[in-house]
Amino acid sequence: MIGKVQRLAFDGSSNIGAFSRVSENWLLLAPSDFSTAKDFVNLFSLKATTTTIGHSTLVGILTVGNQNGLLVPHIVFDEEIKALETELELPVHSLQSKLTALGNLILTNDHAALVSPKFSKTDLQNIRDVLGVEVEVRQLASSDLVGSHGVVTNKGLLAHTSLTGEELEWLANFFGVGVEVGTINCGVPYLSIGLLVTGQAAAAGIETTGPELMRITEAFF
C-alpha cells in the first residue's frame, strides 16, 4: 500500500519538523492552532500529545525517540517529563548532556540509531538503553549533525544530497532499509526540519515541490 504524502504547514511555517516529531505509535506537537493539530492528526491517524520542552516550542529539534522510548534534553522541566510519560506510556529520559538539539544529533528508527560524535560514552549508553537499539557513532557529510541529514523509518531513509556513495551504502546496511537522496521545501537538504514520516504517511513542508514529493514517496513507500 502506498502511504499518504501531503504538504503541511505548522501555524504557517514550512519548517514542520522544528515543532513536531512522529514515531510509529506517537505524535508530538508544540502548542498550535486547532486546524494545524487537526491536519497532523488526520494525516498520521495518531493521537497528538501537545508539549513544550523547557517551555520551548522547538519540540522536533529538542527530542528524538522511537517505539521504545523518548529522549529529551536536560532543559526539560519535571512536569513536562511526567506529562509525556503519562500521555505516551513510554520511558522518557532526560539526557544529562550539555547538548540540547537531540533531534539534530541522532538519527533513529525502531532498530538502530546513528549518533553524533559529540556525545560522551555515558550519553551513548543512555541513548542505547532508552531507545533499545544498536548504536553507531559517525559523521555524515563531515558534519556532526547526523539527525538533520536524514529521515529514517522502518521502511526507508531519505538522506542529504551531499552524502557520498560510501555513506549511503553504509546507511542502507546499518538501518536495513533502502536509501534515497532528496530535498524538501524547494531545495532544502536538511530533511528533518521539514519532513515527518511513518510507515503509513508522510508530511512535508508546505513549500515542498512536486518532484520532491515524488522522491519522498519513492524513498518510503
The per-residue pLDDT for range 27-84, each reduced to its tens digit, is: 999 999 999 999 999 999 999 999 999 999 999 999 999 999 999 999 999 999 999 9
58 is in which domain, residue-wise?
A: 4-220
Nine cell digits for residue 136: 553507531
The CATH number given to whatever domain includes residue 164 is: 3.75.10.10
Q: What total of structural domains would you count in the chain?
A: 1
Instruction: Assign 64 to helix, strand or coil.
Output: strand
How far, in Å, CA of 91 to CA of 154, rounded? Answer: 20
**What's the half-sphere exposure (Cβ side, CA atoms, 13 Å) at 17?**
27
Tell me the C-alpha distance between 103 and 193, whole Å: 9
What's the CA gap between 88 and 171, in Å, rounded? Answer: 29
pTM of the model: 0.96
| DSSP 8-state assignment for residue 206 | T
Determine the Cα–Cα distance for residues 211 and 76; give it in Å rounded to an integer: 38
